[in-house]
Structure 1
Amino acid sequence: MRVLVVDDEPLARARMADLLDRLGHEVAGEAADGTQALEAVRKLHPDTVLLDIRMPGMDGLTVARELAAQPRPPAVIFCTAYDDLALQAFRVSAVDYLVKPVRQSDLEAALNKARRLTQAQLAALAEAESPPGKVLVCNDVAGTVRLDVAGIYYLMADQKYVNVVHEAGTCLTDQSLKDIEAAIGEPLLRIHRNTLVNRHHVLALQRDADGHYVTLRGHPERLRVSRRLYAQVRQVLRGTEGG
Structure 2
Amino acid sequence: MRILIVDDEAPARRRLQDLLAETAPEAAVVGEAADGASALLAWAETRPDLVLLDIRMPLMDGLETARELARMDEPPAVVFVTAYDEHALAAFDLNAVDYLLKPVRKERLALALGKARRFGAERWEQLQRDLPAAPRSHICVRQQGNLRLIPLEEIRCFSADMKYTTLYTAKEEALIDDSLKSLEEEFPDRFLRVHRNALVALAHIVALEKSPAGTLRVRLAGLAEPVEVSRRHASAARQRLRRLEHERGARTP
| Normalised TM-score (structure 1) | 0.48
